[in-house]
C-alpha cells in the first residue's frame, strides 16, 4: 500500500451505507475490537438490526465504523466504534460520534467503553454513569 497516496485521498463519511460483513469483521480485527468476527452471519445480523450505522471511507476502503440504536426522540445507545489503526488519532472517531449523536440533541446517548478506550470518551466530553447493568450472553 502506498501510504502517502492513500493519505492524500480524502475521507468520506456516510450515514446510510451498510458495509459487507467481511469488511466490518476485517476492521474489527485490526482495531482489536472484541466482537464475533469469525461468524459473518452474526455480524450481518448485528448490522441489519441496528438503526444507526455511520461509516468512514477512503475510496471504497472502510476505515472507521460506528453502530448503535436511537429512537430519534429521547434515547440512544452506541454499541461499536472502531477506527483502522493506521488512521487513529486523526479525529475520525470523534467525527463518527458527532455524526451519530448530533442530528437530534433531544436524544441522550449511552455507551459502554472497551478497556482500550477507557479514557477516550472522557477526553472528548462524555460523562460517566454509575448505574449501568448488563444481562450476560452465553457466547
Ligand X SMILES: CC(C)(COP(=O)(O)OP(=O)(O)OC[C@H]1O[C@@H](n2cnc3c(N)ncnc32)[C@H](O)[C@@H]1OP(=O)(O)O)[C@@H](O)C(=O)NCCC(=O)NCCS
Residue ranges in contact with ligand X by CB under 6 A:
31-33, 81-83, 88-94, 113-114, 116-117, 119-120, 123-124
Cβ-based nearer residue to ligand X, 106 or 137 = 137
Q: Which residues of 2-21 are buried (b: 16+ CB within 10 A; e: fewer)?
A: eeeeeeeeebebeeeeebeb
Phi, psi of 132 (to 5 degrees): -85, 140
Calpha distance 16→19 (Å, rounded):
10
Contacts of 107 (CB under 8 A, 6+ apart): 70, 71, 72, 73, 74, 75, 76, 101
CB of 29 to ligand X, least distance (A): 11
- Name the helix (H) or strand (E) containing 4: helix 3-8
Cβ-based nearer residue to ligand X, 31 or 43 = 31
CB of 6 to ligand X, least distance (A): 16
CB of 34 to ligand X, least distance (A): 9
Q: At what angle do helices 21-31 and 40-48 cross, to 10 degrees?
A: 100
Cβ-based nearer residue to ligand X, 75 or 124 = 124
CB of 76 to ligand X, least distance (A): 15
Closest residue to ligand X, Cβ-based? 93
Cβ-based nearer residue to ligand X, 115 or 130 = 115
CB of 61 to ligand X, least distance (A): 15
Cβ-based nearer residue to ligand X, 77 or 120 = 120
Amino acid at each position: 500500500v502506498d501510504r502517502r497516496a492513500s493519505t492524500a485521498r480524502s475521507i468520506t463519511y456516510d450515514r446510510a451505507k451498510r458495509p459487507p460483513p467481511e469488511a466490518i469483521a476485517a476492521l474489527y480485527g485490526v482495531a482489536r475490537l472484541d466482537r464475533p468476527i469469525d461468524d459473518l452471519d452474526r455480524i450481518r445480523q448485528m448490522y441489519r438490526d441496528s438503526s444507526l450505522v455511520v461509516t468512514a471511507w477512503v475510496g471504497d476502503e472502510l476505515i472507521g465504523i460506528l453502530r448503535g440504536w436511537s429512537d430519534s426522540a429521547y434515547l440512544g445507545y452506541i454499541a461499536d466504534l472502531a477506527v483502522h489503526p493506521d488512521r487513529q488519532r486523526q479525529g475520525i472517531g470523534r467525527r463518527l460520534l458527532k455524526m451519530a449523536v448530533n442530528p437530534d440533541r433531544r436524544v441522550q446517548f449511552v455507551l459502554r467503553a472497551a478497556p482500550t478506550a477507557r479514557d477516550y470518551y472522557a477526553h472528548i466530553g462524555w460523562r460517566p454513569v454509575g448505574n449501568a447493568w448488563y444481562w450476560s450472553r452465553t457466547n
